[in-house]
Homo-oligomer: A and B are copies of this chain.
């Protein structure tokens, strides 16, 4: 059994916990929290909750620590720190800072002879893997990534910060016409506005605020100004009833040309339709936790990404079984 620890206990951690439950070669040993451990109720019967301060005591009791903190402040500090004691897996998703994060984690993990797999999940993660493999197979071509339809936590939070907003949910929606053009190998050059629209469901303190709030949303730089944005004002009841789930998904599509004169077209498409973003992301982290375990068992160490992991190391089946039934 692979002994798993979980660091942090939000939505993602709950997704990891339930994934571990359904992977028969794994068991959850402990959850670590910054809150008062007795305030945190987990779903796993044979695991316990401990204070983050006690994590070092579990150095020899946990095979892989799955880090479920946020990318803004938690993971940049936690991943290198915990890689000094544990094999770790994280879902660091600030694309622009992955290289820097990699270098910090690499040094810590290598010195400790541990494996750290960073930036797993679906984007970065499964989508990255597909972008890389597709490009390697069809070097003469273009790839496109579309997200949605799904809830963007970052954009929902941005709306919530506006004065007078009680709660909000923002859906990122790929533009059908853009998807169609890409799939037809038309190789369009798409602006930000042409790829996605943003649909907002907003609860305000008072209807008199509607006009101002809508304007503030639509003009918000980086988040909304470059998109066609729709704002719908709804009641708190309606938000809770119809917008409580955290679905997401998206598409990676590569169109490429082959042949001596590059006159043959191919389309490769990878898509996800997820009812729960954190549960799916948690499932990906769990599979990479197995890979971290497998690599470290072979005495490998250092920082890895999804690009380094052979598919075989994600599976709990024997190689013979895989060759006979999956190849």
Contacts and interface: CB of A to CB of B under 8 A. Distances in A.
Contacts of A130: 270
A95 interface: yes
B270 A311 contact: no
A258 B272 contact: no
B275 A268 contact: no
Interface stretch (A64-72, A133-141, A189-197): A133-141
Interface stretch (A17-25, A52-60, A82-90): A17-25
Identical subunits present: 2
A259 interface: yes
A326 B135 contact: yes
B311 A129 contact: yes
B315 A311 contact: no
Contact of A327 (B135, B264, B276, B305): B305
A21 B139 CA distance: 11
Contact of A102 (B18, B132, B323): B323
Contact of A283 (B102, B128, B258): B258
Given A98-B323, A135-B315, A307-B322, A22 B275 contact: no
Contacts of A18: 258-260
B259 A279 contact: yes
A112 B23 CA distance: 39
A137 B269 contact: no
A35 B80 CA distance: 60
B140 A284 contact: no
Interface of A: 15, 17-19, 21-23, 43, 95, 98-99, 102, 119, 124, 126, 128-133, 135-140, 183, 256, 258-260, 262, 264-276, 279-280, 282-284, 287, 290, 305-312, 314-316, 319-320, 322-324, 326-327
8 contacts: A15-B258, A98-B324, A99-B320, A99-B323, A128-B326, A258-B283, A269-B273, A307-B319
6 A-B pairs with least C-beta separation:
A136-B314, A258-B279, A267-B273, A307-B312, A128-B327, A136-B287
